[in-house]
A and B are shown apart, each in its own frame.
Chain A
Amino acid sequence: MKRALGLGEIMIQMNPTEKGALRFQTLYERHVAGSEANTITQMQRLGIECSFLTAVGADEFGKVVLASLRSEGIDTSGVVIDEKNPTAVYFVQRGYPVPDKTMVFYYRKGSAASNFGPQHLKEEYFKGLDLFLVSGITPALSDSCKEASLKAVELAKKHSAKVAFDTNIRINLLKTKENAMKTLEPFIRKADILFTGMGDLAMLFESDFDRSRESLRKMAEQARLLVFKKGSGGIEAIVDGKRYSMPSYKVPVVDELGAGDACDGAFLASYLLGKPVEEALRYANVAGAITVSLKGDIEPLPDWKAMETFLASQEAGEKRLLR
């Protein structure tokens, strides 16, 4: 069995039952989410043996986060329970002020996960590992998280695990373009598999896609695999210099949060299981499409059977109940 390890912050997501400005919402659904954890959960559901590194508060929400990982069968032995700092929370505002777009408001400053540091990493977590995953969010959380992320990349390399990195720029954490580049560059240079999106590319380089893609290829000197997520514009990959692309599926959008993470997870699982690039891209697209059509980042993540069902309905080319 292939093994993957993720590092990042997992938060409580408060998602209103109705669309509209947050201040008028009184009823919320409670979900659990965090970019790397979403990706890792997607991989676990696709048959990869996963474990996760993070810190949670010694509060009710910390228990919810742990339960979420454990219910998937993800190994949580590296999760730190922080007695002093809380589990982070964020709020989602759907469909306002831009219809069909989601906005998020984070309450994560000083959280348990942002106090995770290199001292919490044990080398044994990396032994026999096939893939280590982290995104640009984690080094942006705090200096200690940045150090932990860098050390984890070194440990992964030492134990011959592939390093997967999603640029995942959170400008409210990184503040400026300059700081985004400074924080992310070491990871871009060391990644074996690199994921990015159009917004991130424009932030790091320039708005012209072709030119910024080339700039990224030059910087990502060790990456054999680069994946460009273009939202409703589909997905593109460069593997050993060869370009592949695929349009996205048209589905009704309920909540686009977590779609990029689902893409990463489905792509990485396919890759680890030795599937061809075209198939990996197709599954990445399917996982993304299913995720945008439902609320919550983790709940919609499909297993293989769900993806085959989705593909069968797409190929049937008609909207009918599957019986």
Chain B
Amino acid sequence: MSQTIVDNHHKEEHVTSTGLSNRKLLMWTFLGSDVMFFGAFIATYLVYRGKSLNGPYPNEILNIPITSISTFVLLMSSFAMVLALNYLNENRRGLTQFWIWSVVVLGAIFMGFQVVEFTEFAIHGLTPRTNLFGTTFFILTGLHGGHVTIGIIWLAIMGYAHKKGALRSDNSEDLELAGLYWHFVDIVWIVIFTVIYLVSASDGPPPGIPGVTH
């Protein structure tokens, strides 16, 4: 009896009305909605770009070399993620463990950079309440940081599940879904890095406002 139930359950998981994995379809739809979510915040940042009436301004406070290193760390975590999934599919347990935890560590390093950056900005007088730049910057990068934190927790759970034998090559879709989420976090940062850090790095006070700050 129980075998029948298990068999039916197993069958239901693999035969879907679209012929595609429902969970994967759901993840892609969620990522699509998250694109619009972040798109709205990036647009808001651009709308208010260069309109802060008091400092600190981006050209006084953004540290491009440090952020470039954290961007590189996040890119490499994406690389580690894709290798983790690859080795899980090949049933190579040691390598899978290594790469899953590499993603977690690299993600944590990225978050460390963000914490240092936020603290540094606060010390120099830039908080979400200081000016329009502060408000839009902290909301956008803070939301991204929140996504990264969720990803780190999710992947740590995956790493633990793999260690305990609950994550195997036959249910590798669990890790694939976490991987899709993680790569998405990476592509959002690619856009944020360009828009906020590179394009806006030389932004000073708007015309007519003296360059004296805080």
Task: Judge: A and B partners, yes or no.
Answer: no
